[in-house]
Amino acid sequence: MPLDPAHLDPDTIVAISTPPGRGGIGIVRLSGPAARAIAEPLLRLRHPLAPAQARFAEVLDKDTHEPLDEAVVTFFEAPHSYTTEDIVEIAAHGSPVLLDYLLRQCLAAGARLAEPGEFTQRAFLAGRLDLTQAEAVHDLIESQTLHQARVAAQQLGGSLSRIIAPIKHNLIALIAALEAGIDFAEDDIDLLPQPEILTRILAIQTPLTALEDSFTYGRILRNGFSLAIVGRPNAGKSSLFNRLVQRDRAIVTATPGTTRDLVTERVSLDGIPIDLIDTAGIRTSTDRAADEAEALGIAKSREAIAEADVVLLVLDATQPFTHEDQALLESLTARTTVIVCNKSDLPSTHPSPLPASTLQTSALTGTGIPELRRAILAQITSGAPTSDTALLTNLRQQQAVAATTAALAQATRATTNGLPHELLLLDLYAALTALDTLTGATTSDDILHLIFSKFCIGK
């Protein structure tokens, strides 16, 4: 809920809103009641500032009163701005010296240096954004793929908020009906019958359960996932790694045991970030390791298997299927695994039948690589929504929804057991409080500080 203007921070804040370093353009942003009064003396404007209009200006040297640079200045008048306060943005050339000069002059004129995320926090406190939209601003800034940016833009546009709004409305309506039945029983207002209460709780709980289920995919989309490429020495793991990375990132030789350490590269697979991990070839008998370095590499490979979201097991089509292959395959039964038989361009010597899902690939010719990419993606997107619905993309959101569904489940048990409506209302109010933490209606100051401290200064 928006705060009363009297409780909003009266300070005018300032920050450089473009990334550090040199660039064609750099922006100094002010927000607050004195934004215009602080900015105007620093500039020589050809025309007075006007709301939502860009003005050409010269940045003045305070000592010589001569122009230091040319700039474009935009003024956004309260409440029609990002923070709902007066905002002035000075877009000058991206010289760190010049931007720092402008920043220091604003501070000397009475502005305060903005905290990380304070512009967005002010937008949230003023009610312009809810907490899911504020988090989406950070996600959009941090996007590494276009797909991530699209999802963040949907969240920023209120896709998650639009799902929550009718759910909250129905929950409040149920609470009101139960309260009325208790408070005005003498006025012949009937208590809701048990079947209707259960039906209404289920109608609230069902979309929340679907939303909670979206977290598995939403977390992967936001943070990416890891894939460890494992197998016996010289099976072609590094060659497949290079094919998936689309450049010669790992060293490839005909000598078994070339890879001694983990080689990691982040790539995008249909818009989802993936950390590919090329591992040392695994020998099940430690005495067969060529030297201590290879033994350490094998140990790191096993650690990578334990930590990876998906394991890509590479078999060698030119070598017999050995007990080492079988042991490694059996060790992965509890893991999400994709199996490939590499070197399919060469005659196969596998005497044993492989699992039906085994893919045939050739890192040399590229055969089977598109199918391999699809198979990896299928392991990750199996829980993806079937439409462009909203997603839970961070743990805070998931915990808020989980707490809401847990309280609703308790309310269902209370209703089924015939407990008084006064006790049922305790569970429903707990569900409402948890739901409100999702959008920020009842979020504590500590949580807000944690969320916005992750932002860059100037955002």
Domain residue spans of the chain: 5-128, 154-214+389-440, 224-381
pLDDT of residue 22: 92
Amino acid at 328: L
pLDDT of residue 347: 79
Query: 5-128: what fold?
Result: Gyrase A; domain 2 (3.30.1360)
pLDDT of residue 372: 92
Query: Is pLDDT larger for residue 437 or for residue 281?
Result: 437
Amino acid at 458: G
Instruction: Quote the CA–CA distance of 411 and 424 in Å, as a whole number.
Output: 6
Mean pLDDT of 89-109: 97
pLDDT of residue 204: 97
Rounded alpha-carbon distances, angstroms, from residue 143 to 116, 224, 377: 18, 11, 19
DSSP letter for 457, please.
B
Q: What is the mean pLDDT of the chain?
A: 87
∠ Cα 439 215 141 (to 5°): 65
Helix (H) or strand (E) holding 49: none
∠ Cα 82 103 36 (to 5°): 50
SS3 content of the chain, % helix, strand, coil (to 5): 45, 20, 35
Sheet containing 112-113: order of strands? 43-45, 53-60, 67-76, 87-94, 23-31, 13-16, 112-113
* 3-class DSSP assignment, residue 28: strand
∠ Cα 326 332 335 (to 5°): 160
DSSP letter for 440, please.
T
31 pLDDT more than 90: yes
* 3-class DSSP assignment, residue 60: strand
Question: What CATH number was assigned to the domain covering residues 224-381?
Answer: 3.40.50.300
**Conformation bin of residue 345: beta by default, left when phi > 0, alpha when psi is -120 to 50:** alpha
- pLDDT digit string, tens, across residues 316-374: 888 888 888 888 888 888 888 899 998 888 877 655 667 778 899 998 898 999 999 99
Query: Is pLDDT larger for residue 3 or for residue 293?
Result: 293
Find out whether 25 and 150 touch, Cβ atoms under 8 Å.
Answer: no
Pair of tokens at residue 44: 């020589």
pLDDT of residue 386: 60
pLDDT of residue 254: 46
CA R_g for the chain: 30
Instruction: Quote the CA–CA distance of 175 and 432 in Å, as a whole number.
Output: 9
Task: Residue 177: count other Cβ atoms within 10 Å of its Cβ.
Answer: 17
Instruction: Quote the CA–CA distance of 33 and 303 in Å, as a whole number.
Output: 55
- pLDDT digit string, tens, across residues 218-249: 998 888 899 999 888 888 888 899 888 876 65
- pLDDT digit string, tens, across residues 425-436: 999 999 999 999
Select from 1.20.120.430, 3.40.50.720, 1.10.10.410, 1.10.630.10 the CATH code of 154-214+389-440.
1.20.120.430
Query: Is pLDDT larger for residue 327 or for residue 153?
Result: 153
Find out whether 111 and 34 touch, Cβ atoms under 8 Å.
Answer: yes
Confidence tier at 181 by pLDDT (50, 70, 90): confident
Mean pLDDT of 256-283: 78
Nearest Cα to Cα of residue 314 among 381, 216, 241 = 241
pLDDT of residue 174: 94
The proportion of the chain whose per-residue pLDDT surpasses 70, expressed as a percent, equals: 88
CA 250 to chain centre: 29
Instruction: Quote the CA–CA distance of 15 and 113 in Å, as a whole number.
Output: 6
DSSP letters spanning 274-293: EEEEE-PPP-SSGGGSSSHH
Q: For 23, what's the count of Cα atoms within 13 Å in the CB-facing half-sphere?
A: 12
Query: Is pLDDT larger for residue 124 or for residue 319?
Result: 124
pLDDT of residue 3: 46
pLDDT of residue 260: 52
Q: What is the dihedral of CA 352, 354, 360, 364, to 10 degrees?
A: -50
pLDDT of residue 300: 81
Nearest Cα to Cα of residue 161 among 452, 437, 439, 393 = 439
Phi, psi of 177 (to 5 degrees): -65, -40
Amino acid at 381: T
pLDDT of residue 2: 46
DSSP letters spanning 148-216: HHHHHHHHHTTHHHHHHHHHHHHHHHHHHHHHHHHHTGGGTPPPPPHHHHHHHHHHHHHHHHHHHHTHH
Mean pLDDT of 17-34: 95
Mean pLDDT of 104-127: 95
Can you state the angle between helices 146-156 and 159-183, rounded to 10 degrees?
30
Pair of tokens at residue 391: 């997603």
∠ Cα 106 110 113 (to 5°): 65
Report for 93-107, 217-231, 387-401, 429-443: range of highest mean pLDDT: 93-107
Rounded alpha-carbon distances, angstroms, from residue 194 to 172, 190, 407, 412, 451: 18, 12, 17, 10, 41
Find out whether 265 and 249 touch, Cβ atoms under 8 Å.
Answer: yes
